[in-house]
């Protein structure tokens, strides 16, 4: 099998071409956090629905308080006491005031709310002054401390557009409009299969010659991290029948991930299975780590087409190829428009040598000093050194055409664990 190498961009566009946005589902608003809105949401009414008080104080008519000062209080007759949640038939006439709490709808005739602090309410309680009256100590302009109906949202306004990623504020906004459920794009179900005769799961003793299965867990965690639902299908031996049967158990998912078995070794059977059962797109990508990758689709019996990404077995390669290919695929399924990972420019403090003209994704520690980002390598960069991923908060990109990045040179860095 001698295949030409393709670029990361070419590989990604092949993947994305075969990935479709999933169907929509109606979900309770809180459950839709992190999903993408599949409908335009218009305001059914003004928010707030009526003018209401922004302070605890006295609802008054401006004419009644014009000229009020500490040494010249305006004494008004108290005609009501309005807690939040009360609606009232009361009208505020000139010379009258209603005691009002924050959030209560202001009575007709109100054009100012005077906060308690600007009245003589406290002294009045401990004195002989008439408790049915209130002294206003300051003139406040018309509109003071009144939240106008519709000042947040106007009836009929487009509040949240289709395609919006739902964040906590959006969930609150939906609630403020009385929405209980909302239409969003479904989360993808992602099947995860680890291959390798040498791999055992964490509930087994580690006998000689074996290593623990880390890929199933890092990949399932990445699926969860980016909003998908993992379906763990365990470990399969490097044996065509087992691999084939287990792949079939992933046909009810939206995407199948395997790790291992895609290199050119004698027992790398995932590629052999795919050649027979599936439709293969590419094998070798010009990147490091992560060169051997299989991408293809399975045609399930019911006519369903299930995309499959065969990730390399090396724990770092598996995670990085996930970040570069699986993450955007999942986001596209979930209806996200912007699939790019957050990227910064930083000054490299180590030297990185590019020996074979591939794009290197170097694991780096990012530090900000005096508003400038600096990065340094996590340490040894072998594709089996999972500790490098534990320590990394970014992947510095060394382009394929660059032979060496020297200390002090600028690199682009994909930020990990930030979105
Ligand atoms: P492969 O791509 O199958 O040749 O595997 C490459 C390397 O990754 C080998 O050293 C494997 O032992 C290791 N590897 C493969 N699968 C896993 C896994 N699930 N967990 C940890 N290491 C693995
Ligand atoms: Mg293997």
How confident is the model over 213-266, as pLDDT tens digits?
999 999 999 999 999 999 999 999 999 999 999 999 999 999 999 999 988 787
CA distances from 226 to 189, 255, 289, 339 (A): 12, 14, 21, 12
- For residue 315 and ligand 1, the question of a CB distance below 6 A is answered with yes
Rounded-to-integer distance, Cα 399 and Cα 419, Å = 24
Kindly state if the Cβ of 314 falls inside 6 Å of ligand 1.
Answer: yes
Q: How confident is the model at residue 168 (pLDDT cuts 50, 70, 90)?
A: very high
Quote the ligand 1 centre to 227 CA distance (angstroms).
25
Per-residue pLDDT tens over the stretch 71-102: 999 999 999 999 999 878 999 999 999 999 99
Atom number in ligand 1 closest to CA 235: 19
d(Cα 408, Cα 318) in Å, to the nearest integer? 30
Residues 158-184 have a mean pLDDT of 97
Q: Is 196 in the pocket of ligand 1 (CB under 6 A)?
A: yes
> Which ligand ends up closest to the CA of 267?
2
Mean pLDDT calculated for residue range 175-181: 96
Q: Judge residue 98's burial from the number of C-beta atoms within 10 Å of its C-beta, 0-12 exposed, 13-18 middle, 19 or more buried.
A: buried
- pLDDT band (50, 70, 90) for residue 299: confident
Nearest to 274 by CA among 231, 301, 306, 303: 306
Judged against a pLDDT cut of 90, whether residue 388 lies above it is answered with yes
For residue 389, the CA-to-ligand 2 centroid distance in Å is 20
Kindly state if the Cβ of 197 falls inside 6 Å of ligand 1.
no
Q: Is 317 in the pocket of ligand 1 (CB under 6 A)?
A: no
CA of 312 to the centre of ligand 2 (A): 8
Q: Which among 209, 313, 320 is the best mutation to test ligand 1's pocket, defined by most ligand atoms within 8 Å of the CB? A: 313
How far does the centroid of ligand 2 lie from the alpha carbon of residue 373, in Å? Answer: 38
Cα–ligand 2 centroid distance for 124 (angstroms): 85
pLDDT at residue 419, rounded to an integer: 45
pLDDT at position 418 over 70: no
Mean pLDDT of the chain: 94
pLDDT above 60 (res 51): yes
Query: Confidence class of residue 3 from pLDDT cuts 50, 70 and 90?
Result: low
Ligand 1 centroid vs 290 CA: distance in angstroms? Answer: 12
184 has a pLDDT exceeding 60: yes
Give the pLDDT band of residue 1 (cuts 50, 70, 90): very low
Question: pLDDT for 112-141, tens place per residue?
Answer: 999 999 999 999 988 888 999 999 999 999
pLDDT > 90? residue 181: yes
């Amino acid at each position: 099998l001698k295949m030409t190498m393709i670029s990361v961009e070419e590989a990604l566009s092949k993947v994305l071409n075969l990935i479709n946005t999933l169907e929509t589902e109606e979900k309770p608003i809180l459950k839709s956090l992190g999903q993408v809105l599949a409908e335009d949401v218009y305001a059914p009414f003004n928010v707030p629905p009526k003018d209401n008080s922004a302070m605890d104080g006295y609802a008054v008519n401006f004419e009644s308080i014009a000229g009020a000062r500490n040494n010249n209080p305006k004494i008004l007759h108290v005609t009501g006491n309005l807690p939040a949640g009360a609606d009232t038939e009361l009208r505020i006439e000139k010379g009258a005031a209603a005691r009002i709490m924050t959030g209560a709808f202001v009575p007709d005739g109100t054009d100012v709310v005077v906060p308690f602090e600007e009245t003589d309410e406290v002294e009045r309680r401990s004195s002989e002054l008439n408790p049915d009256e209130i002294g206003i100590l300051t003139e406040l302009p018309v509109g003071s401390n009144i939240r106008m109906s519709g000042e947040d949202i106007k009836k009929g306004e487009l509040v949240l557009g289709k395609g919006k990623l739902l964040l906590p504020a959006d969930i609150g906004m939906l609630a403020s409009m009385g929405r209980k459920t909302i239409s969003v794009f479904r989360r993808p179900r992602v099947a995860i299969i680890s291959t390798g005769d040498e791999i055992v799961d964490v509930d087994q003793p580690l006998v000689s010659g074996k290593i623990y299965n880390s890929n199933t867990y890092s990949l399932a965690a990445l699926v969860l991290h980016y909003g998908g639902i993992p379906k763990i299908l365990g470990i399969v031996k490097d044996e065509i029948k087992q691999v084939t049967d287990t792949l079939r158990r992933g046909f009810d998912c939206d995407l199948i991930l395997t790790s291992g078995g895609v290199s050119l070794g004698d027992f790398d059977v995932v590629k052999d299975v795919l050649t027979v059962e599936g439709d293969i797109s590419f094998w070798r990508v010009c990147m490091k780590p992560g060169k051997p990758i299989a991408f293809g689709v399975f045609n399930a019996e019911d006519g369903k087409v299930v995309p499959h990404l065969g990730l390399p077995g090396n724990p770092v390669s598996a995670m990085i190829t996930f970040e570069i290919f699986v993450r955007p695929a999942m986001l596209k399924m979930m209806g996200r428009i912007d699939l790019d990972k957050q990227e910064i420019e930083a000054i490299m403090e180590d030297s990185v040598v590019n020996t074979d003209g591939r794009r290197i994704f170097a694991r780096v520690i990012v530090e900000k000093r005096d508003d400038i980002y600096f990065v340094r390598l996590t340490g040894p960069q072998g594709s089996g050194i999972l500790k490098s991923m534990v320590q990394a908060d970014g992947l510095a990109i060394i382009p394929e055409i660059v032979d060496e990045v020297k200390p002090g040179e600028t690199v682009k860095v994909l930020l990990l664990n930030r979105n």
